[in-house]
Structure 1
Amino acid sequence: MRDDNISNKIINTMISNQADRFALRTRIIADNVGITIHQARYYLEKLRKNNIVERTTKGRGRKITWLLNN
């Protein structure tokens, strides 16, 4: 899959799961898109750098959750 295609699938998954209001875990996003958790994290970080998503948890060893930016 191309990078743009995966990024779009992640965004669509987040929209359909109301991630503008409820934070989603990386695992949920990965499972819905059909990629590994490591791939999901890579693409979510790219989307974060473009200010499309926001990481809502901080700290080492914590489950990471994501929100869509409005």
Structure 2
Amino acid sequence: MRQLNKKDGASRLAKIFVDATDLTFLLGKAVNPAHQNPDFPKDLSIKLNIVRDIITILEKMGKNVTVKYF
């Protein structure tokens, strides 16, 4: 847990995920052309897939997750 007390953005976000009981994700559906590069690893090309993976993990941790798409 000491790693979650660091000041970098990833540690702060992870701490929020661990400490929270309820989370709401507000996701835009716009496509970023820069992320459509075929040279990108497949897992990094679509933000919604990454967020879905995070949500799945959070739900397995017993978190109540709400997703709103715009």
Higher-Rg structure is: 2
TM range (shorter): 0.3 to 0.5
Greater RCO (Cα-Cα under 8 Å, separation 6 or more): 2
TM-score with structure 1 length normalisation? 0.34
